[in-house]
Structure 1
Amino acid sequence: MRKALTRDRVLQAAVTIADRDGIAALTMRRLGAELGVEAMSLYHHLRGKDALLDGVAETLVGEILEAVEQVVADGDWRALLRARFLAAREIMLRHRWGPGVLNSRADVPFGVLRYYDSIIGVMIGAGFSYRIAHRAVHAFGSMPLGFVQEAFSPSADDTGGDDLAAVADLLPNLVAMVASEAHEAELGWCDSQVEFEFTLDLLLDGLDRAR
């Protein structure tokens, strides 16, 4: 007997495809083949590619929420937030297509708002004002979700690196930094674990002083 097709089952299959073959490989036809059904039957659960990617983003955020809610950190607000952000990063490293999908969606999954609400709650409970908590949310950016957003991606694998080299005389410091710092990274062109934790600790230390 064929297992019933549900929205959750469809989205889990979509995540499997993205993990295995990359997010570009995720199409309604490919997803139908993965599930052993005609692509048209998927439209009962997802209206098209945009709805599919919205659902994949929701599924990813759900994994992050589950991970951070399980975090138990001894110590103060700083230790708790640090542990939560690093737990979210483990999810992102498992789904390396995640930052691109989240950045591409027009609507923010409600789970993201829930998560940031809890971060603000931790800070208010630790004695921060709403003013500083607001500034903290801006400073954290996407770090609570386990990655940092790059202003640009100068990679030797795409035209970004070539474009920078072509204008090295106009951007000497930027080109020199890229040449010096470009390395194997987990997410993005320079988002390594060391740099993620360095930035996170810098922000948390600064917020502690601001309090």
Structure 2
Amino acid sequence: MPPKRTRAGRAGLSREQVLDAALTLADRDGVAALSMRKLGAELGVEAMTLYHYLPNKDALLDGLVERVLSDAAAFDTGDGPWTIALRDYARLLRAALLRHPGVLPLIATRPAVTPQTLRTAERGLEILCAAGFPVGSALSALNALTLFVIAHATAEVDIAPVNAAEAPGSADYIAELDPEQFPLLVRAAHTAEGTDDGARFDFAIEALITGYAATL
């Protein structure tokens, strides 16, 4: 194990590096297992050193939300239609969440409060308001889209403990149903139609955005 650096010897360590290490720990062990002591050990420093970069545990958790959501901040904000920007945002956010499943419970319950995450929200509102949405409707649209993406990603990674128990696959169960009573369900089970996560996600995003457009 490398020797721990003192507070005076923290040169080369940045807030971003601290958050990246915290993200690695959270993905590996879960957010509940994350502590300043464990994070310090991961980085080879005393836990007290970390308070130079993040003043408390809440700041660390807010930083984790920021770090994951920052991957979705690169959505298109050029001269293209607002619909393209929303699609980009949704797809980038889903990809970021699926890369960091250990942080999903935190993302689902903790509001985005750091300046960087709020700037991402502000950019989304600017795009929607420029397209003609009132600010209240723009905020509702952005929030609804974000919550859908989080919920869909959560279902995809199957983080609920109750789902960890061994059980027959739902597709297998449905395929064995009486085809006279449930002809469409049985057909879908045998053809695997409607079971692709990516296709289902894209379909729902298109439906949401089309619905938003209809309100203008």
Would you call these one fold, judging by a TM-score over 0.5?
Answer: yes
Partner SS state of residue 33, structure 1: helix
Instruction: Give the stretch that moved more between structures: 192-201 or 34-43.
Output: 192-201
Higher-Rg structure is 2
Number of residue pairs the alignment of both structures matches = 178
Would you say the 8 A contact 2:21–2:39 is kept in 1? yes
Would you say the 8 A contact 1:11–1:55 is kept in 2? yes
Would you say the 8 A contact 1:19–1:95 is kept in 2? yes
Say if 2:43 is the partner of 1:7: no
TM-score (norm: length of structure 2): 0.64
- Is there any run of 5+ residues in structure 2 with no aligned partner, and where? 155-159, 168-184, 190-194
Would you say the 8 A contact 1:64–1:91 is kept in 2? yes
Residue type matched to 1:127 in 2?
Answer: G
Would you say the 8 A contact 2:26–2:34 is kept in 1? yes
Which residue matches 1:28?
36
How far off is 1:204 after superposition?
Answer: 0.7
Which residue matches 1:157?
164
Residue type matched to 1:33 in 2?
Answer: A
For 1:43 and 1:87, locate their aligned partners in 2 and report how far apart those are by CA, in whole Å: 31
Residue type matched to 2:82 in 1?
Answer: W
Q: Deviations over 1:57-83 (max 9, x none)?
A: 222233332x32xx4788522122102
Residue type matched to 2:107 in 1?
Answer: L
Partner SS state of residue 47, structure 1: coil
Would you say the 8 A contact 2:65–2:106 is kept in 1? yes
How far off is 1:29 after superposition?
Answer: 1.7
Q: CA RMSD in A?
A: 3.5
Identity of aligned residues (%): 37
Instruction: Give the stretch that moved more between structures: 127-136 or 96-105.
Output: 127-136
For 1:14 and 1:131, locate their aligned partners in 2 and report how far apart those are by CA, in whole Å: 35
For 2:136 and 2:69, locate their aligned partners in 1 and report how far apart those are by CA, in whole Å: 26
How far off is 1:120 after superposition?
Answer: 2.2
- The 1:99–1:33 alpha-carbon spacing in structure 2 relative to 1, beyond 3 Å, is same
**What are the within-5 Å matches in structure 2 for residues 171-182 of structure 1?**
none
